[in-house]
Amino acid sequence: MFAKRQSRGFTLIEILVVIVIVGTVLSIVVLSIGIVPEDEELKTERTRLAALMETVQDEAMMQGREFGLEIMTASYRFVEFDPFTREWTDVPNDELYRLRNLPDGVEFELYIDDKRVELQDDPQEITGPNGRAPTPGARAFAPHLYVFASGEASAYELRLVRPLSRKELIMRGDILGEITFGEDDEI
């Protein structure tokens, strides 16, 4: 009758189907672990902060205002110097200066004059409840970095770091307000 056909291997279609399935599973695993986005998140955050700093520098010079940047472990905010009260204040009603949080797993390391600055987790209190001055004996608020109306700024080195993988990107600012990125950044 019919001869029994022997199977000698896989067909080309079967091999291609297996390759597509394995490729799909690997893609899902890589994206769920977050290996690819980590690198881009660091670059995106560094670029965003540099652009904000340049915008603030331009606004300081054009409007004759002085700004500061308070940096926390995983967030930052801009503040403004009020020449009438001679104190730093929040900038009201301006989305540009709001408190910004870094993505999960990203932190700042700040160096001024080659010394690491100990950063807090939360912003400092500028004013007390109902707009009153901070409690007596409290330390006067001062931002970490300054942007002056003359165009000058604080010199600094700011690192965006993933502590678990120790991946980092560097952003440097000089007293003339020029911002540069680290040449040896490895991502």
Q: Does the pLDDT at position 129 exceed 90?
A: no
- Amino acid type, 165: S
* Contact residues for 109 (Cβ-Cβ < 8 A; gap 6+): 116, 119, 158, 159, 161, 168
**Domain-wise residue ranges, the chain:** 37-181
Residue with tokens 């104190």: 87
**What average pLDDT does the segment 117-146 reach?**
71
Residue range 25-39, pLDDT digits in tens:
888 877 666 554 456
From 41, 7, 12, 14, select the one nearest 169 (Cα to Cα).
41
Superfamily of the domain at 37-181 = minor pseudopilin epsh domain (3.55.40.10)
Residue range 20-73, pLDDT digits in tens:
899 888 888 776 665 544 568 889 899 999 999 999 999 999 999 999 999 999
Using the CB atoms, write b or e for 135-151: b if 16+ within 10 Å.
eeeeeebebbbbbbbee
Residue with tokens 């952003």: 171
Q: Does the pLDDT at position 91 exceed 70?
A: yes
Cα 187 from chain centroid? 15
